[in-house]
Amino acid sequence: MQYKLEAPVHGTIGTQKYQCTIAWRNGKIIADEPVQTGGTDSGPDPYTLLLSSLTACSLVTMRMYIDRKGWDIPEIGVSANLFQETVDGKLTTTIDRDIVFMSNVDEEQKQRLMEIVKHCPISAILESNIKVRTFLFRDGETEKKIKYAGDEVTVVWKPEFCQHSQRCWRQLPGVFDYTKKKWINPNGASADKIVEQVKKCPSGALTILPNPEKKKD
């Protein structure tokens, strides 16, 4: 399992209705709700952000293809919107994506781009079998803590907090191997890599001791 983004998108909200700050790898954007739902419309709402992703991906995908082909198509426009219906108790969402060419483009090129854009990466995600997994980070004490002391770092695992996200053992299998009785090997990677991986634990089950204990043999 390899995440698409090196660092996750991270959002926070305070008490100001309903302004959210979303941090991405190179900056921050503001999201909000429209006035009619109690927000101040200071940034795009979640539906808009979802559609923006599809819109941007569609444009970038077409631009890459056009440039690779050396076609003279200076500008393209994409609009996206969605509607939802409940049929027989089941919610269905339909996204409409409209493409507009702002210059003369021959019919064959248009048809080719229509095909290409249908397979842009975000379309592929939206049309795939998507699961949303939700984890709760807990920061505190539990009765059970198991320490795995290595030469450079000591990894502490709190089994009651573990939500079995699989992140640790999928991303750093040299250290985390659930098939073994002693499932954490704190010497299985560099200390930096282990610290970095421990920070990705979504539940708070993994921590590193601030003053690493030396391994006692």
Interface with ligand SF4 (CB under 6 A): 162-168, 201-203, 205-206
Nearer to ligand SF4, 147 or 164 (CB): 164
Q: Which residue has tokens 């006035």?
A: 35
One-letter amino acid at 164 equals H
54 phi-psi bin (left φ>0, alpha ψ -120 to 50, beta other): alpha
Nearer to ligand SF4, 55 or 171 (CB): 171
How near is the Cβ of 171 to ligand SF4 at its closest, in Å? 8
How near is the Cβ of 200 to ligand SF4 at its closest, in Å? 7
Q: Distance between CA atoms of 113 and 21, rounded to whole angstroms?
A: 35
Nearer to ligand SF4, 20 or 175 (CB): 175
Q: Distance between CA atoms of 154 and 186, rounded to whole angstroms?
A: 7
Helices assigned H by DSSP within 106-146:
107-118, 121-126
What φ, ψ does residue 96 adopt, rounded to 5°?
-105, 130
How near is the Cβ of 158 to ligand SF4 at its closest, in Å? 8
**Taking Cα atoms as reference points, which of 178, 163, 169, 160 lies closest to residue 198?**
169
Nearer to ligand SF4, 28 or 164 (CB): 164
Distances (CA, A) of 97 to 55, 79, 127, 130: 8, 6, 13, 20
Q: What angle do CA 48, 33, 3 make, to 5 degrees?
A: 50
How near is the Cβ of 7 to ligand SF4 at its closest, in Å? 16
How near is the Cβ of 208 to ligand SF4 at its closest, in Å? 12
Nearer to ligand SF4, 19 or 207 (CB): 207
- Edge-to-edge strands of the sheet including 20-24? 10-13, 20-24, 27-31
How near is the Cβ of 206 to ligand SF4 at its closest, in Å? 5
Nearer to ligand SF4, 73 or 168 (CB): 168
Structure letter (DSSP) for residue 202? S
